[in-house]
A and B are shown apart, each in its own frame.
Chain A
Amino acid sequence: MSDLLMSFLVEGATSGAYGYRVEADGKVSQWRTSKSVKDASGAYHEEQVKPGFYPSVSLSERAVYTLREALQGSGIYGMPAEIHTASTSTDPRMATWTVGTPSGEKTVVITPWPSADPRVQALFQVTQTLNQLITAAYA
């Protein structure tokens, strides 16, 4: 079984990519292309980093359970590999979702991200749950 619980990466032409990866043990990493670094003068400056997922925060066991329930409720394990709906803006973003399953990783590519499609809205709600769990983890 994969160690991955879930990940998503959102990409658009006019913005930087963003997303998270959550391991089954609760470790959260965030997609980064740069980081803010404090220099000797106390000021922060932006440094480029190799694009990828970088460690962020760890979720509690209970939080992982909550996220797992949210994923199950979203129906992602039964979704097709691609969900494509009509775009309603000039900069449709694309999301690549991946979840761990007993038989390996399953990927769903969604264009545009998000959309009014109920399946996509269900996944957007997962991101809102994850955001709440991450905020709580920092507290």
Chain B
Amino acid sequence: MAQLANKANDRQGVPQRGVRSGGLASETDDALSADQAVEAVQQHGHSSAGLQRRMALGLLPVMGNSVLQRMLLQRETGDGVATADAPVADDAMDADLAAFLRQGVMPSEDGVDLTPTGLGGFNAKFDPNARELIITMNIGFVFPHGLKIDPATNIVTADGVGLDTTDPDEQGTLGQLQAAATRVMNDFAAADRANEVNSRWRWSGEQDTWMESYRRGVVDAWGGRHFFQSVDWPELFSAVRVNINVHQGVQAGDHCKAKIVKTPPGGGLGAFVQSGTTASATDQELIMSSSAIDPRPDNLLVNNLYFQHDSSDINTANSRPDGTGQAGPAFLNRFILTFNAAPGTSGQKIKLEGHASSSGAADYNQTLSEQRAKAVEDYLKNNGLTGSIDRTVTSGLGETLTEDAESRRVTMTVGDGQPQVVANHETGHLLGLDDEYSTAPGGLISGTGNPIGTAVRHNDIDANSLADAPIDGAVAENNDNIMSLGNTVRPQHYSTFFSALETVTGKNWKYGGEGDPPTVLPGTQTPDGVIT
């Protein structure tokens, strides 16, 4: 088969690529490029189904795994070619299912604007050909500068032109810019301020690049993470595709107006979404800094506790390597308040990694690093950290290469420990989801979040309709969830998509699983064998 495919490539003047024999290729296979595959498939319309199938592997990057797999299987089983305007239904299919699929795009090609929770809003439609729920959001952007400088005096002040200074929330953003201006005035020599302001706090033509980065990040973060399964027809699945249309300015049909204030990384402006009315899907506003498309530098899922030389004593440890932070017990108490598990849940894993400096023998430092990690674990367990008994996992990583205070530490990592991309979190609000982080009094997270365990706004959809999903419920807890402190899209974060799917199809669905749906039910005979 591989030889045949390569022959075909030769005939088309396409460079030879390796093609896996048998089974469906994964996206990591060395397939043709998308353009090459489209050309080859078109020109080999009368070739064998197997040949077409292998050529089309190059379409994966543009069509998505699930759509392409379905198309290819139908070619090989002689069901006919699935085209964009021909519903995927055949004689062997349940008559009701076939009739359902032959309805075409539901509720219409234009889709329907929805706001399942009253927060955010998007357009939704179900494509029976692709077996996809298509979520589309149109966003118009304006790009306020962060700061400005008077070239005559080198005095730096807030810019923010484009912000609504009569809106209280945007007044807060203006206040943050004013504070930033004071910081620049304090820290930078007069002659250096213009460069700082103009290069890091003002847009200079990169807005379109920024919009494309945002769009790509959101599509990747939110699309294809989970799928749904029909209650009526278990063989029917729906993948989820997220489309984001971005443009500068305001246009009719926009779901959101976004104001992106130019700041350097960690600009400190924060980010928020405002929903005009709970009934409209097209009156959202998103305000955030340009740096929100990057992982936040103050990773809230990773904390460190620093120890004295040759010590694993919590009492003399400190939250800062120079000893000017909080004492070990006080800091760990705050950590516990922050990362307690929601009642009735096991809580996410907390990795405790001990380190030692290079001073002393390596064997001794290995033991010391393990003792430090164990000391932190004992403190957390003995002082009320809630969740499963095995939440914490300790390891000693031995000595580092340097002899400094930063090496004498235990790193405490919650969940996957990846720093949040705030833009993706905020887009979750535009998709109808509530915050899941918690700001327990005395904890490490400031602000006004809900107490741990509080049901959040999308919990109703979750509890009523996604009961089969492997989740504990949409409640406030500090963890690596995308609507909490991290980036992970879990089943409850598809609850508004789920609601939209039931609305546009008028059918009952249930949670199907992670990633793309299978092309056929497990145990089904296919030309490649039995899908297990």
Taking Cβ atoms with an 8 Å cutoff, the residues of A that contact B are 10-20, 30-32, 35-38, 44, 46, 50, 56-57, 87-94, 111-116, 120-121, 124, 127, 131, 134-135, 138-139
Contact = CB atoms under 8 A, between A and B. Distances in A.
Nearest to A30: B182
A15 B178 CA distance: 14
A93 B426 contact: no
A112 B167 CA distance: 13
B119 A56 contact: no
Contact of B182 (A14, A46, A134, A139): A134
Contact of B192 (A18, A44, A56, A121): A44
Contacts of B186: 30, 35, 56-57
Interface of B: 119, 153, 155, 157-158, 168-169, 171-172, 175-176, 178-179, 181-189, 192, 196, 266, 268-274, 298, 320, 324-325, 422, 425-426, 429, 434-435, 437, 439, 445-449
Contact of B187 (A37, A50, A124): A37
A36 B188 contact: yes
A124 B166 CA distance: 11
A17 B272 contact: no
Given A134-B182, A138-B185, A10 B175 contact: yes
A12 B447 contact: yes
A10 B192 contact: no
Nearest to B285: A89
A89 B155 contact: no
Given A50-B325, A120-B168, A131-B178, 14 more contacts: A11-B446, A14-B271, A15-B269, A15-B271, A30-B179, A37-B187, A57-B185, A87-B448, A89-B274, A91-B271, A113-B172, A114-B175, A127-B178, A138-B155
A91 B445 CA distance: 13
Contacts of B158: 131
A13 B439 contact: yes
15 contacts: A10-B172, A18-B175, A30-B182, A36-B183, A36-B187, A44-B196, A89-B274, A90-B273, A90-B435, A93-B448, A114-B168, A127-B175, A131-B158, A135-B155, A135-B157
Nearest to A94: B448
Contacts of B268: 15-16, 18
Which 5 A-B pairs rank lowest in CB-CB distance, beginning with the nearest?
Answer: A15-B270, A13-B447, A16-B268, A11-B446, A91-B272
B172 to A, nearest CB: 6
A87 B457 CA distance: 14
Contacts of A93: 172, 270, 447-448
A54 to B, nearest CB: 8
Contacts of B437: 13
Given A18-B175, A38-B189, A88-B169, A139 B446 contact: no
A44 B434 CA distance: 38
A50 B175 contact: no
A20 B179 CA distance: 9
B35 to A, nearest CB: 41
A20 B185 CA distance: 14
Nearest to B446: A11
Given A134-B182, A139-B155, A12 B266 contact: no
Nearest to A111: B448
Contact of B447 (A31, A46, A91, A131): A91
A89 B273 contact: yes
A43 to B, nearest CB: 10
B176 A94 contact: no
A90 B196 contact: no
A12 B426 CA distance: 14
B341 to A, nearest CB: 19
A120 B172 CA distance: 12
Contacts of B155: 135, 138-139
A87 B168 CA distance: 10
Given A50-B320, A115-B168, A91 B270 contact: yes
B177 to A, nearest CB: 10
B179 A18 contact: yes
Contacts of A17: 446
Contacts of A19: 179
Contacts of A124: 168, 171, 175
